[in-house]
Amino acid sequence: SECVAFSEERLAANSSTGAEKSDQMASPTKVAVVVGAGSKYSQDGGAELPPSSRWGLGGALSLRFAAGGFHVVLLGRRVPILEEVADAVRAEGGTATTCACDVTDDDSVKRAFDVAQHVGDVEVLVFNAAPGLPEGRNFWNMPAPHEVEPAYLQTAFNIGVTGCVRCTKHVIPQMLERKRGTILLTGATMSLRGSAKFAALSPVKFALRSLGQSMFQEYAPQGVHVGH
């Protein structure tokens, strides 16, 4: 992918050109990685957002961390959308790197985090990746529990829970070594309680919250904050 080629080039030459997908850093910097930075992006055509909403959590958090002085590394499956988010970050004076990342693929995740860690120390990881809705469904037409396809749940867990494990394993060792760092897992009301017509989504969000609680109990005493 473009970001991987860029990473290798910078490792060799420590220089940048206009064709690269990252802003040149003059010195080591703090990095915030946003996984699912293009999620719920209203101009994508694949999100159910009010017309006044330009960003979902992925884009909004990218802008917020950039405003706080972080170099944001934007990960997701659709690089053109990530580039639009990066352009918005840069327009507000921030810096950004984009990189394709499929959280269901070990190699893809490793390549993306290699790029992020080359930019600087990953101080913050936001996990905002989530499965799409079941085929042919929307939020007003979700399946009842007996209508949920097992294959959908398997895919959803691979994205929304196992995907988180794949990502965090690339940053937690370094955070523990530095005795600091923050991991944020995005959720929803369905993380706290199941509702009618949400049997396809609630189990994944419940599991992600449980994973976050386990990580908090494990790593908070060692200086790594985990929030959901």
Q: Which residue has the tokens 């930019």?
A: 119
pLDDT tens string 40-74 = 544 544 445 554 555 678 999 999 999 999 999 99
C-alpha 78/C-alpha 54 separation (Å) is: 17
Percent residues over pLDDT 70 in the chain: 81
pLDDT tens string 164-185 = 999 999 999 999 999 999 999 9
Mean pLDDT over the full length of the chain: 85
pLDDT tens string 181-214 = 999 999 888 888 888 989 999 999 999 999 999 9
pTM, two decimal places: 0.84
Query: 53: how many CB neighbours lie within 10 A of its CB?
Result: 14
pLDDT of residue 166: 99
- Containing H/E element for 26? none
Per-residue pLDDT band for 137 (boundaries 50, 70, 90) equals confident
Q: Give a three-class secondary structure readout of 150-210.
A: HHHHHHHHHHHHHHHHHHHCCCHHHHHHHCCEEEEECCCHHHCCCCCCCCCCHHHHHHHHH
DSSP lists the bridge partners of residue 96 as 72
Closest CA to 130 of 202, 36, 213, 56: 36
Collect all residues with Cβ–Cβ distance below 8 Å to 18 and sequence separation of at least 6: none
- Ordered by where they begin, the domains of the chain are 2-9+29-227 (3.40.50.720)
